[in-house]
Structure 1
């Protein structure tokens, strides 16, 4: 056995071991570094390929990618991480599509290429292009460059999508049967591009994290197909790992929202980024930092429910400081983590771990939900749809059936929020109008800071 396959085997083991590390906050950093080291090893092994040509182009690509990627990753805020994931994932799909095009040209239209190479390349071209352009649309929605609300052609949307898919597949079939006209491959890429855009535009902002995960799985599968066509073991294994893990994550996120993947792709709801404040029936009760501090200080148990608003305000450190003060008074403080709180899985876990919140205080939804009925104060910080009782008992609500945190069962609920603006689903939260709920309006970090000062004064 030569050195190259040995390095590949070691790299694949590091990929899997690194992925295992991402299953928990304590091991996530180690897992990232392990998988990254495995990728470096896989690149080195690929560079050992005999008769490798244009090495300077490979070196140039690595240099450009490093110059662009490292600063972007270091500077990105946690609140913007989902759109960066979408963008970086899309680049991978685009690279795969371009590789298929290059292979078509280099082989004179796949002349004398085995059938598996032709099929793999054409599959990669379609899926990679869909992933690239779909990811760009997802990035635009998350970054609020594009409208967060569904943008659709109405009843014509599904027929248009079907026609675009059939057109892309038709071009692929023609090429696969021996037509060596480059215009057919270009047409394939164009129709796949339009498919990616047409499929993602009608999906609302509330479903965008699921879409990003699904497109990530697409990119992985297209990379594996390209690896098969190029006889590159590293691409096959890495692509299948990404495709499999992305598919599992997509399924888990869809189940967390109690919605099928098909219903999400068919056109989701939401667009909270552009939803205006809408008055709802009932009365909203406002409170002050002093009153909140008193209720927290004399509670036996407090559950903090973090959401995207906490992430935007970067309030996690202030929340931990507040929890320490309460702990010194003998108050038990736990954190209720909904699987789709924020804009990506694990968003809240990462933020709170960054603030040195003890891991044992982070409770998943199934573990914490029974505790709300025995809780004195539930402190909701910037969480919206994941606390809306309508998901549990209003069949007419678009989020009906989505598992939520049973915040409304606590004796007292305090919500820290900038305004009455709706969440990603674009609907009012009935929790805010509950007689047991009080609203503390303002920036979450500033509000928590005021509560801390009041606690110190007690």
Structure 2
């Protein structure tokens, strides 16, 4: 009956993994609604905590002390950065943390491949007298041999994880402003395809049993380089799609490595993340009227043909006049963009909206799917300010209402309200669904200056006859509107 305690122990761990998987799925389901999203995050967090704690009780677990130290360091760093990061830097943090997940999956794959190569006798053993003897490493906890399926999944997981890691780092650098938005050269697509083909060939050789340390190093170097080269030519306007895609890559890599390790929690969590990331990527690409292939291998900003000439001039307005215009309006739609996040003006905007509502004005907030620098960026900002969910409308729901809207107030949004997306076939954003702000009777745009948006495209809305420009920092400009509106009420 010596097997009974082990059986019960394994059963308890599997049960914990099953409960953790349920919490992951239920948490993700709750995240689909703004009303329950916060609770969903907490549920998923409890699931991850349960999965981590259960893993410590695996009978073949090694180096528990080092693992505890790593967990404490990681949790402390994540807690500190999560508390301090500004909302404007949230996309960068998501890209960075997503890259860490891909890097972790690639590291697991590296350990698996090194263990496999050692089992083939293709790595020299470290002398027993060395403090770095083989017994000191967790690689010995792996099965002595990998089946062809396990080895294939391990190589695929390592490849995808490495691409996600290096690609996410480039996305982070682009969003942080540390490098140019795009880096292109002649024949770049061919070079990228050669890098991918070389990485696949190296991985195929590993699967065929040619594992050696030099080949493993070449394989990872090619995978990391491909991730860099694939992301460098992608423009900043496409970063929401890229972040979602790499999120899917990370989930897929984790799931593959979970199959190799026989860890159900990794398999299910990875599959959920991969599926969610894939669906989100498709939704983001659809919202921009672009295919995923076009985002990855296209040339955003290099549309052919001569762009339409924009006639007219930008017409300024002061805050007092803009406030009066909205004070006596029947319907006002507020369109937030990345400029709102930069100015941290969400609380002032909600204060202004409340003043309008008290006057009997019907106020709504219009959200474009790719407004900001990541999916849901504007929703999070408005939720942080306490804007009720029933006042927030998606693009498809609000667009028919612009024709009966007296004033549309645009704060820091640019490309998602640009009419050229509908009228100029030569425009790089042609065909992208936009918020039909130009259909409103009057449009007021709060903008720092006369520059173009993140995609570097001039906006015809700013020159329209029914548009007035309120120049200045978003928070200061809205504060001016608040003061002027109070004077009207006073």
Cross-structure match for 1:260: 291
Asked if 2 retains the 8 angstrom alpha-carbon contact of 1:207 and 1:268, the reply is no
Question: How far, CA to CA, are the matches of 2:54 and 2:435 in structure 1?
Answer: 48
Question: How far, CA to CA, are the matches of 2:105 and 2:485 in structure 1?
Answer: 56
Cross-structure match for 1:274: none
Match of 1:418 among 448, 459, 466: 448
Cross-structure match for 1:125: 158
Deviation at 1:147, TM superposition (A): 1.0
Question: How far, CA to CA, are the matches of 1:131 and 1:345 in structure 2?
Answer: 18
Cross-structure match for 2:75: 66
Cross-structure match for 1:37: 46
What SS class does the counterpart of residue 24 from structure 1 fall into? Answer: coil
Cross-structure match for 2:178: 145
Asked if 2 retains the 8 angstrom alpha-carbon contact of 1:270 and 1:424, the reply is no
The structure whose Rg is larger is: 2
- RMSD between superposed Cα atoms in Å: 1.3
Question: How far, CA to CA, are the matches of 1:281 and 1:330 in structure 2?
Answer: 37
- Report whether the alignment pairs 1:189 with 2:198: no
Question: How far, CA to CA, are the matches of 2:427 and 2:392 in structure 1?
Answer: 29
- Report whether the alignment pairs 1:223 with 2:227: no
Asked if 2 retains the 8 angstrom alpha-carbon contact of 1:318 and 1:448, the reply is yes
Cross-structure match for 1:405: 435
Cross-structure match for 2:97: 88
Match of 1:443 among 458, 473, 480: 473
Asked if 2 retains the 8 angstrom alpha-carbon contact of 1:311 and 1:351, the reply is yes
Question: How far, CA to CA, are the matches of 2:464 and 2:118 in structure 1?
Answer: 66
- Report whether the alignment pairs 1:434 with 2:464: yes
Deviation at 1:109, TM superposition (A): 4.8
**TM-score relative to the length of structure 2:** 0.90
Match of 1:355 among 380, 385, 392: 385
Paired residues, number? 449
Deviation at 1:197, TM superposition (A): 0.5
- CA offsets per residue over residues 268-319 of structure 1, 9 Å max, x none? 4259xxxxxxx96421100000110110111000000110001110111101
What SS class does the counterpart of residue 334 from structure 1 fall into? Answer: strand
Structure 1 runs of 4+ aligned residues shifted over 4 Å read none
Asked if 1 retains the 8 angstrom alpha-carbon contact of 2:117 and 2:212, the reply is no
When structure 1 is superposed on structure 2, of 432-441 and 120-129 the one drifting more is 120-129
Asked if 2 retains the 8 angstrom alpha-carbon contact of 1:205 and 1:270, the reply is no
Match of 1:48 among 49, 57, 63: 57
Cross-structure match for 1:100: 109
Deviation at 1:107, TM superposition (A): 3.0
When structure 1 is superposed on structure 2, of 425-434 and 103-112 the one drifting more is 103-112
Match of 1:210 among 241, 249, 252: 241
Asked if 1 retains the 8 angstrom alpha-carbon contact of 2:243 and 2:374, the reply is no
Asked if 1 retains the 8 angstrom alpha-carbon contact of 2:239 and 2:374, the reply is no
Cross-structure match for 1:390: 420
- CA offsets per residue over residues 350-373 of structure 1, 9 Å max, x none? 111111111100011111101100
What SS class does the counterpart of residue 117 from structure 2 fall into? Answer: coil
What SS class does the counterpart of residue 108 from structure 1 fall into? Answer: helix
Question: How far, CA to CA, are the matches of 2:146 and 2:236 in structure 1?
Answer: 43
- CA offsets per residue over residues 195-234 of structure 1, 9 Å max, x none? 0011000000000111011011101101111111111111
Asked if 2 retains the 8 angstrom alpha-carbon contact of 1:110 and 1:118, the reply is no
Asked if 2 retains the 8 angstrom alpha-carbon contact of 1:96 and 1:124, the reply is yes
Deviation at 1:110, TM superposition (A): 5.8
Deviation at 1:338, TM superposition (A): 0.6
Asked if 1 retains the 8 angstrom alpha-carbon contact of 2:301 and 2:428, the reply is no
Question: How far, CA to CA, are the matches of 1:29 and 1:435 in structure 2?
Answer: 43
What SS class does the counterpart of residue 414 from structure 1 fall into? Answer: strand
- Report whether the alignment pairs 1:12 with 2:42: no
- CA offsets per residue over residues 409-455 of structure 1, 9 Å max, x none? 00000000001111122100000000110000000110011111111
Question: How far, CA to CA, are the matches of 1:180 and 1:261 in structure 2?
Answer: 34
Please list, as runs of the form range in 1=range in 2, the aligned pairs for 1:233-382 lying within 5 A after superposition: 233-269=264-300, 281-382=311-412
Question: How far, CA to CA, are the matches of 1:119 and 1:345 in structure 2?
Answer: 33
